[in-house]
Each structure stands twice: as C-alpha cells, then as structure tokens.
C-alpha cells in the first residue's frame, strides 16, 4: 500500500505543526494585558528548521492590537473563500477558481511582517494575497463574478487567477512563471536601492520547474534581495510532494542559497520568519528560500473534490489539530487578548462584511464591451486598428478609445 | 423590447452557461439584419437570449458547452453511419464492432491500443497516472503498469525534453501537456530540438517517436491560460506535424496515426469536445491519414474551412446561410492536420466554388487562416469571386468575461458566408 508510508511522511513533515497547538505558550507576563499591551512570547520549539543559516529568534513580541487584527484578517479571508466556494457552486462564479482555505496564515503572517512598499508576487491561489495587499472583498468578488467593481483587480478580464494590487504583481496563471519575474522585481529594488524586499511565492508543485532554478542562480549571482517562499501544501494538484520531488526539503533546494523551513500553520512563526528574512536580504546577505509548511483543506481547484489522492481523515486531522485560525484564537484567549464572545463577534463581523461585498458585487455593472480592447498596449500607442467585434462584423474595425 | 431590463438580467447571469448556449443557438428567424445593425452586440447577444431562455432547462456540464455537437449531422450516432466512412472501410473497420465513446474515451482507447501494440510505448505527463485532469488516461496505469504510464513533476520543458530523449533511442513517447496554454515553457524543446533533430544530425537521430498531446481551445470559462489555440506557433516549424481532431472517431484514428508517425507530432484536443462529442467508435485498431483534409459536406458556391470544435459552429452557420439564401450550397472542409495542411484539397474546392471562408479561434493576425488565405490566393487567384474571409478570435489576449464576443461564433461565420456570396 502506498497510502501508509505517504501518510506517515506527511505526519512527520508536519509533526512540528501539531506540536504548536499542544504546547502552551510560555508567558513572561503574568497579569492581564491592557489595550495596547505588548507581551513577550516564545514560539514553540520546532517552528523553524534551517539550511546553511542560523534560525530566527524564537522569542518574539506580541502586540494585542496587531495580533487581533491578524486574527480578524484570517477570519475574513476564510469567510471570503467559503463564500467564493458557494458562489461558484451556485454558478455565479465561472472559470477556474483556486481557494486558499487552510493556508491563511501564510498571506496574513507575511503581510504583518512587511510594509506595503515591499513587493509580493504569487501564483494563481491568490485571493488571500490580493485581500491583504489592499483590495477589498468587494473588488475580489466582483472580479470573480465578472462584475465591474470600482476598485479594480483585472477588470474582469482575468478572473480568479489573475488579481493585482499595489506592489502585488499578481496572481499568475502559469505554474512557476512568476518566479523569474520576481527575481527581476528584486533586481529593480537593488538597482534603485529602495531597501525593499521582494517575496516570490510558488507551490511545492512549481518548485520543480526549471525556471525556478534559473531564478535561484541569477539572484545568488547578483546578490538580489529576493525571498523565495515555497508554500508547501503537500500536493501539486493531485500528486503528493514526495511523488513529484526527489528532495522534499524545499527550503534546502537553493543549494547555495540559505533556507528556512517554517511552520506555515502558525501565523506568529510566519510573521517572525518573514520579518527575519527581510532583515537578511536588506543587509545584503543575498537571497533566501523560505518553505512554509501548510495545508489546503479544499481540492486543488473547484473541479477537484480533493479526496481522491488523500484521505478524509487526513484533512480532518489537519483541520482539528493544525488550523491556523483556531491556533491563533487559542493563543489570544490564553493571553487574555480576546474573550470567547469577542471571537464570536469577529466571526459575525466577517460574515457581515462579506455578505455586504457580495451584495455590492451583485449590483455592479457588467463591464463595458469596449473593455475587450483596452490595455493590450500602453494608452496612446495602440495600433490604429484592433480587430474586434462591432455591429457590422466587418472584421477590420477601427477601435477608438 | 425593454433593453434596460434585459441588460440588467444579462449582467446578473452572464456567467450562466445557459445563456452562452442560448446565444449560440439563437433562432435564425430572430437574426434579421436590422437587429444586427441597430443594436450593439451586447444588446443583440441578450435579445437572442431572452427569446430562448424558457426553452432551455438542462444544467450544463462542468466542462462547458459545445453548442450544436449533440445534434450535429457530422457526428456518427449509429453503427451504420460510423462504418460508412470510406477511410474506415479502407482501414478494414467496416466489419468490426463499434462502441459509444466520447472524445476522451476514444483518446484513451487509442492510447491503450498504442501501448498494447507497441512494447516500447510509454505515456507520461502531469497527473496522467490518476487519469489526467480530463480523464484521458483513466485506467491505463492499471492496464500497463507504473513503468509505462507515469506522472511527471510540473516541468513542461523537462517533459518534452525527456520525450525527445526517449524517442531518440527508438522508443515511442506519448507526452501530455496538461493544457495547450502550458506548452510554451517547452516551446524551445519542440521547435529547436524535436523539429530539427533529424535535419541537424543528417538523419542520424530523430524525435519521430514523440507525440505531444495537449487540450486546446475555448471551454466557456477558461480565461487567459486555459483557452488558447496555439497551433499557428507550431505551424511555423518545419519538422513538426500538428493535428487537431473534431470528433471521437477522428481523434482515435488520428492519434494512433500520430503516435505511429515517424515525425514528432503535436496533437491538440479541443477540450470542450471531451464530453460533448459522443460517437459510435470502431473498437479495432485503425489509423486516419495525417496531412489529409476531409470534405464533410460537398457544395458548389462557397468553400468553408475550419478544424476542431469550430467545425460544429461552421456547420450551424452553413445551415443558417443555406436556409436564408435558397439554392446556396456551401462545401465544409475539416482541415484535420494543420501542418502539413492539405493545400490541394482546399485549392481544388475553391477552384470549384470561387469563394473561401476560413474560421479558427486563435487570433486573426498570423493565425493559420492567414497561411490558407495566402496560399489559396496564389493557387486560385483568377478563380476567386470575392475576397477570402477569415473569421477568427480577435487580436486581444483571451478574455474571461468577453469569451462569447471573442470566439468566432455562428453569427460571425454566417455573416462571412453572406459577405462572400453578396460581394
């Protein structure tokens, strides 16, 4: 049987994750914190695994307000994805749709560690990143539903896999294609001396694309401030990591690039790793490879039930022992940052926000048909004709913007 | 007609495939010219929808719609129709059995026969071991084992390069690229390595045993990277062959011929037909000729050329044109092979009709229609009665919400036929 060794390998690789929920935080502050209080906190042992570098400190500071915000964002993100799932099933969303349910800690934790001036590029599982990078749930849902929101993601030309925001270079539909693009973004930061980091995300499936290694090479060669972030959710579509990769230590696959494996289900570990990585690349130490060990609860996309290549028990196990939202919630309760009833209110608020966004998206106008021809070339440099659909159907139609 | 209300409901349910179906199925009676001229396409689009919304009740398949396929006269629904095909008679299939198959099942059947008859044949690609995203390789790993049917990592350039290596030592490599849109990382391997291997080694080595399968074309909701038709890129590479089938019978015969062809072949499968096209397919081992087009419907006034899923749209357009203009007779040709394409058959047809309409989903500029038009202009110049018409995708990236406007639908093909007739 192939299933058993695979499962055991999976549980080994995520054993550090389960420990996080079992271990109670070691607190150095005994009294209940005030509104803006910051407490010292020690991340569980095993949060990090290193390759050719020293690990980040396990002792971190946790600010009440900031942590509650991170919690709220994760709850909102999950609600957004759950709603997208429902809208897809009711045929309000068509096309390809990849949900990040289960992986929220990566996007939210990373955003908490960086500033809006830092740069992020990812693959097609991009709703969560689009949200934390500044787009509203309304804009995201409108893009998914083919309605035109005023805060635009891709003008409904791309849909789920192709969303953008400021300093967020997109959802990219082709597996691995964003990785060398990210190296270019990092090069520009180095050239312009902006002191900004570039986070380049890809999955465990994409980690085997040749262009990933081309990007590793040039970024080390030119000492770029590039942080390669492999979101290892254990399955490239329907193929488990161990079946597709000769070496599943994704954090060590940069060979000459130091790496760090992070418990991607622990948002505080993610935040600490991303902040450490930023310091690293900005002190001219060159690129880094981070591996965020995470898990997606749903299938690869909407057409994949996600249960033919893994067991329901495995998914259930991950949900009940490693959920990033439950994990943070427990800590917030332990730290007396939140009460049970406050967390219920956060859930309710998230639901209301998303319901409102759905309503808005439903009422948005359908994109004007002339949008078909916009943004093919830079404004003012378009060719005199864009062959497009007009009433006479004559083929060569002058398109004027 | 209340356009305000119509547009509102259009907006609300644009993505409903019901509407897409209705668009393509619009009643010819509603398709009078005045409607086309006086309302914008989006309004026109909706007018036809409103008139038909009530007629349509069955939910769509998840793979999207291929209007007109189920009732197409080109689909061989019965055993008798299927085995009448002279090419199948020639291949000795007229006495054998047939079985109901859709396009992915017939592709599966072809690969199963290829692996049975050739011990050196292997199948590999992303997720093929568990059946592939479109189920084309379903059950093959159970039949032939993991040594012959296996998954690769997500590494398109690696897949094709690997396939060339396997083929260069005389084996038969059947590679799958999950979507034709993903083939571009492998573009160098296909164009520079596979296509030129024989030529540059003076015949010492070749990649003739390589066949690359990839699902192509629109599917109703694929957006930028699950919808493209990249055949013209490869039609520019001497040394490759490019094949696109239109139906299960065709797919099986052409795929077997492609696998056994001693040149590297790229086999594009219109993904929307995987489930939509169902035929009685001979269960035996047969091949259909590569490089030969097929006349699907003889006619004397207009030659209409297409391939893949576009054929069914052309069939409907022709039906509509012939109804509108009594006495008009159009000849429908399925090119089947894009490279090398059947120039003689098309030229012969245009020399008879004097008019040519070409349709494909890929963008118009430098699409394969341009090559056909240029060649026919050279070969049939004095015989042409009107400018050759190309009905194609527009010169924009493949858009998500505008797909119904982008693809060369029945109305546009119909208009082109009208135009060459009335020139």
Banded model confidence at residue B116, pLDDT cuts 50, 70, 90 = very high
- Look at A35-44, A179-188, B221-230, B235-244 and tell me which has the smallest mean pLDDT: A35-44
Structural domains of chain A, with CATH: 3-367 (3.40.50.970)
- Report residue B55's pLDDT band, with 50, 70 and 90 as the boundaries: very low
How many domains is chain B built from?
3
- How many angstroms away from the CA of B400 is the closest CA of chain A? 5
pLDDT at A387: 66
pLDDT at B65: 56
CA distances from B143 to A281, A311, B213 (A): 52, 24, 20
Selection from B325, B26, B420, B403 nearest residue A394 by Cα:
B420
SS3 A63: strand
Sequence-ordered list of residues with C-beta below 8 angstroms from that of A44, at least 6 positions apart, any chain: A16, A19, A20, A23, A58, A263, A266, A269
Interface predicted TM-score (ipTM) over 0.85: no
Which candidate, B208, B271, B256, B229, places its Cα nearest to that of B369?
B229
Mutate to test the interface with B, among A161, A212, A304, A387 (most CBs of B within 10 A): A387
| One domain for residues B148 and B97 | yes
- Can you list the positions of beta strands (E) in A233-303? 235-236, 239-240, 259-263, 288-293
Among B224, B363, B412, the residue with its CB nearest the CB of A162 is B224
Query: For residues B394 and A386, what is the distance between their CA atoms, to the nearest angstrom?
Result: 8
Structure tokens at A334: 């332990």
A245 vs B39, B153, B391: nearest CB? B153
Over pLDDT 90: what percentage of chain A? Answer: 71
pLDDT at B190 over 80: yes
What is the number of alpha carbons within 13 Å of residue A305 lying toward its C-beta? 6
Is residue B60, in this structure, part of any structural domain at all? no
Same domain, B113 and B220: yes
B111 assigned to some structural domain: yes
The pLDDT of residue A152 is 64
- Domain assignment of residue B68, yes or no: no
Q: Is position B70 within any domain?
A: no
Please say whether the dihedral angle defined by the alpha carbons of residues A317, A322, A323 and A329, taken in this order, is positive or negative. Answer: positive
Residue A21 pLDDT more than 60?
Answer: no
Q: Do B299 and B277 fall within a single domain?
A: no
- A23 pLDDT above the threshold of 50: no
Interface subset of A 361-400, CB within 8 angstroms of B: 362, 365-367, 369, 371-373, 376, 386-393, 395
Question: What's the DSSP call for residue A159?
Answer: G
Mean pLDDT of chain A: 87
B156 is catalytic: yes
Helix axes A267-282, A324-334, angle to 10 degrees: 100
Considering only CA atoms, give the Rg of chain A: 22
- Mean pLDDT over all residues of chain B? 86
Give the pair of three-digit tokens for residue A204: 């465990």
Percent of chain B with pLDDT over 90: 76
Confidence of residue B165 (pLDDT cuts 50, 70, 90): very high
Task: Find the CATH number of the domain harbouring B298.
Answer: 3.40.50.920
Do B10 and A92 count as a contact with CB atoms less than 8 A apart?
no
Beta bridge partners of B357: B304, B389
In a domain, B65, yes or no: no
Mutate to test the interface with A, among B60, B61, B153 (most CBs of A within 10 A): B153
pLDDT of amino acid B173: 97
Same domain as B83, residue B165: yes
Model confidence at A391: pLDDT above 80: no
CB contact under 8 A, A393 and B412: yes
Does B365 share its domain with B219?
no
Query: A278-284: long-range contacts at Cβ-Cβ below 8 A with a sequence spacing of 24 or more?
Result: A278/A113, A278/A114, A278/A118, A278/A197, A278/A227, A280/A53, A281/A197, A281/A224, A281/A225, A281/A226, A281/A227, A282/A195, A282/A196, A282/A197, A282/A225, A284/A223
Judge whether B74 lies within some domain.
no
Give the confidence band of B321 by pLDDT, cuts at 50, 70, 90.
very high
Residue A239 has pLDDT above 70, yes or no: yes
> Helix, strand, coil shares of chain A as percentages rounded to 5?
45, 15, 45
Contact yes or no for A387 and B222 at CB 8 A: no
With 0-12 / 13-18 / 19 or more C-beta atoms within 10 angstroms meaning exposed / middle / buried, residue A133 is buried
One domain for residues B195 and B131 = yes
Cβ neighbours, 10 Å, residue B219? 25
Q: Are residues B369 and B324 in the same domain?
A: yes
Among A residues 16-75, those touching chain B with beta carbons less than 8 Å apart: none
DSSP assigned state of A207: G
The answer to whether B151 and B127 are in contact (CB under 8 A) is yes
The whole-number average pLDDT for the span A215-232 is 96
- For residue A166, pLDDT beyond 50: yes
* pLDDT for residue B47 is more than 60: no
Residues B260, B304, single domain; the answer is no
- Reported confidence tier of residue B32, pLDDT bands at 50, 70, 90: very low
- B195 and B332 in one domain? no
Residue A35: what pLDDT? 54
Could you say which of B282, B313, B338 is where a domain stops? B282
pLDDT at A303: 85
Does position A379 have pLDDT exceeding 60, yes or no? yes
**B68 secondary structure, DSSP code:** T
- The reply to whether residue B395 touches residue A376, judged by beta carbons under 8 angstroms, is yes
CB contact under 8 A, A308 and B130: yes
Identify the pLDDT of residue A374: 80
Which domain range does residue B8 map to? 3-55
Report residue A200 as tokens. 């380049």
Record the pTM: 0.78
Helix (H) or strand (E) holding A268: helix A267-282
**Binning pLDDT at 50, 70 and 90, where does residue B196 land?**
very high
Kindly write down the DSSP assignment for every residue of B25-66, as one continuous string. Answer: T--GGG--HHHHHHS-HHHHHHHHHHHHGGG--SPPPTT---
- Asked if pLDDT for residue B28 goes beyond 80, the answer is no
pLDDT at B48: 34
Looking at residue A327, what is its pLDDT?
Answer: 96
Q: pLDDT per residue over B346-361, tens digit each?
A: 999 999 999 999 999 9
Partners of B280 in the beta sheet? Answer: B100
Cα gap B350→B145, rounded to integer Å: 50
A89 and chain B: CB distance < 8 Å anywhere?
Answer: no
Question: Among B250, B282, B314, which residue terminates a domain?
Answer: B282
Q: Do B404 and B345 belong to one domain?
A: yes
CA B271, B219, B20, B58 torsion: positive or negative?
A: positive
Query: Is residue B84 assigned to a domain?
Result: yes
Q: Above 80 in pLDDT, residue B1?
A: no
* Contact predicate B86/B289, CB 8 Å: no
Per-residue b/e over A295-326, b at no fewer than 16 CB within 10 Å? bbbbbbbbebebeebbeeebbebbeebbbbbe
Cβ within 8 Å, pair A92-B133? no
Q: What is the CATH number of the domain that holds B271?
A: 3.40.50.970
A90 in contact with B at a CB cutoff of 8 Å? no
pLDDT at B95: 85
> Is B73 a domain residue?
no
Residue B297 in this model has a pLDDT that exceeds 50: yes
> How deeply is A397 buried, as exposed, middle or buried, from its count of CB atoms within 10 A (0-12, 13-18, 19+)?
middle
Whether residue A91 lies within 8 A of chain B, CB to CB, comes out as yes
Strand A26-27 relative to strand A38-42, pairing: antiparallel
- DSSP letter at A365 equals P
Q: Are residues B270 and B204 in the same domain?
A: yes
HSE-CB for A99 with a 13 A CA cutoff = 25
Q: What is the pLDDT of residue A148?
A: 83
The pLDDT of B99-116, averaged and rounded, is 97
CA distance B368 to B318: 21
Q: Is the pLDDT of residue B158 over 50?
A: yes
Last-in-domain residue among B282, B302, B318: B282
- B contacts of A369 (beta carbons < 8 Å): 40-42, 402, 405
B311 and B259 in a single domain? The answer is no
pLDDT higher at A8 or A294: A294
Distance, in Å, from the CA atom of B109 to the CA atom of B284, rounded to the nearest integer, reads 9
- Rounded Cα–Cα distance for residues A357 and A76 (Å): 12
Residue A3 burial (CB count, 10 A): 11
């Amino acid at each position: 049987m192939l299933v058993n060794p695979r499962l055991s390998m999976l549980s080994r690789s995520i054993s550090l994750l389960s420990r996080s929920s079992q271990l109670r935080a070691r607190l150095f502050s005994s009294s209940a914190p005030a509104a803006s209080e910051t407490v010292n906190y020690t991340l569980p042992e095993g949060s990090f695994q290193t390759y050719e570098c020293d690990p980040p400190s396990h002792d971190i500071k946790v600010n009440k307000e900031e942590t509650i915000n991170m919690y709220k964002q994760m709850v909102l993100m999950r609600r957004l994805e759950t709603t997208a799932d429902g809208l897809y099933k009711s045929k309000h969303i068509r096309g390809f749709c990849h949900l990040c349910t289960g992986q929220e800690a990566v996007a939210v934790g990373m955003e908490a560690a960086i500033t809006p001036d830092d740069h992020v590029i990812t693959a097609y599982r991009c709703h969560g990143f689009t949200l934390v990078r500044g787009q509203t749930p309304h804009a995201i849902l409108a893009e998914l539903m083919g309605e035109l929101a005023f805060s635009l993601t891709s003008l409904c030309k791309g849909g789920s896999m192709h969303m953008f925001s400021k300093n967020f270079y997109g959802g990219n539909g082709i597996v691995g294609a964003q990785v060398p693009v990210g190296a270019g973004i990092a090069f520009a930061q180095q050239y312009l001396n902006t002191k900004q980091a570039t986070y380049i995300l890809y999955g465990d499936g994409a980690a085997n694309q040749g262009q990933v290694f081309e990007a590793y090479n040039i970024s080390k060669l030119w000492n770029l401030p590039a942080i390669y972030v492999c979101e290892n959710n254990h399955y490239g579509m329907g193929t488990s990591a161990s079946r597709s990769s000769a070496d599943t230590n994704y954090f060590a696959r940069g060979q000459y690039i130091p790496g760090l494996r992070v418990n991607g289900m622990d948002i505080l570990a993610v935040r600490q790793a991303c902040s450490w990585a930023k310091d690293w690349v900005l002190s001219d130490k060159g690129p880094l490879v981070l591996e965020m060990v995470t898990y997606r609860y749903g299938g690869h996309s909407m057409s994949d039930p996600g249960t033919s290549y893994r067991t329901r028990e495995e998914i259930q196990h991950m949900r009940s022992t490693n959920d990033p939202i439950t994990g943070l919630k427990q800590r917030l309760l332990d730290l007396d940052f939140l009460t049970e009833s406050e967390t219920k209110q956060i859930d309710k608020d998230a639901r209301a926000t998303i319901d409102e966004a759905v309503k808005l998206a439903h009422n948005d106008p359908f994109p004007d048909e002339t949008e078909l021809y916009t943004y093919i070339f830079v404004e003012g440099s378009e060719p005199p004709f864009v062959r497009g659909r007009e009433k006479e159907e004559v083929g060569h139609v002058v398109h004027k913007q | 007609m209340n356009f305000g209300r119509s547009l509102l409901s259009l907006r609300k349910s644009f993505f409903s495939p019901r509407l897409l179906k209705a668009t393509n199925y619009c009643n010819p009676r509603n398709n009078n010219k005045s409607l086309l001229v006086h309302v914008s396409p989006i309004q026109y689009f909706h007018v036809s929808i409103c008139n038909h919304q009530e007629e349509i009740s069955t939910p769509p398949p998840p793979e999207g719609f291929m209007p007109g396929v189920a009732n197409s006269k080109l689909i061989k629904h019965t055993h008798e129709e299927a085995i009448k095909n002279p090419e199948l008679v020639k291949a000795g299939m007229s006495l054998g059995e047939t079985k109901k198959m859709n396009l992915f099942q017939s592709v599966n059947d072809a690969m199963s026969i290829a692996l049975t008859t050739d011990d050196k044949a292997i199948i590999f690609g992303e997720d093929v071991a568990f059946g592939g995203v479109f189920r084309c390789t379903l059950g093959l790993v159970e039949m032939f084992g993991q040594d012959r049917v296996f998954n690769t990592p997500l590494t398109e350039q690696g897949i094709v390069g690997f396939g060339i290596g396997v083929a260069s030592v005389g084996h038969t490599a059947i590679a799958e690229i999950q979507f034709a849109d993903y083939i571009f990382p492998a573009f160098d391997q296909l164009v520079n390595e596979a296509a030129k291997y024989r030529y540059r080694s003076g015949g010492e080595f070749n990649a003739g045993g390589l066949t690359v399968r990839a699902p192509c074309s629109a599917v109703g909701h694929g957006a930028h990277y699950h919808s493209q038709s990249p055949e013209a890129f490869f039609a520019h590479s001497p040394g490759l062959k490019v094949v696109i089938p239109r139906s299960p019978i065709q797919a099986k015969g052409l795929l077997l011929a492609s696998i056994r062809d001693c040149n590297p072949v790229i086999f594009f499968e219109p993904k929307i037909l995987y489930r939509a096209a169902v035929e009685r397919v001979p269960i035996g081992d047969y091949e259909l000729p590569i490089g030969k087009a097929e006349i699907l419907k003889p006619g004397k006034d207009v030659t209409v050329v297409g391939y893949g899923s576009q054929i069914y749209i052309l069939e409907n357009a022709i039906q509509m044109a012939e109804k509108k203009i009594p006495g008009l007779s159009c000849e429908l040709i399925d090119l089947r092979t894009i490279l090398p394409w059947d120039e003689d058959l098309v030229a012969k047809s245009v020399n008879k009709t004097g008019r040519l309409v070409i349709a494909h989903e890929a963008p118009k500029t430098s699409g394969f229609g341009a090559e056909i038009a240029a060649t026919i202009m050279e070969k049939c110049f004095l015989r042409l009665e009107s400018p050759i018409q190309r009905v194609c995708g527009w010169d924009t990236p493949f858009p998500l919400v505008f797909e119904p406007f982008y693809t060369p639908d029945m109305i546009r093909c119909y208009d082109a036929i009208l135009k060459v007739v009335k020139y």
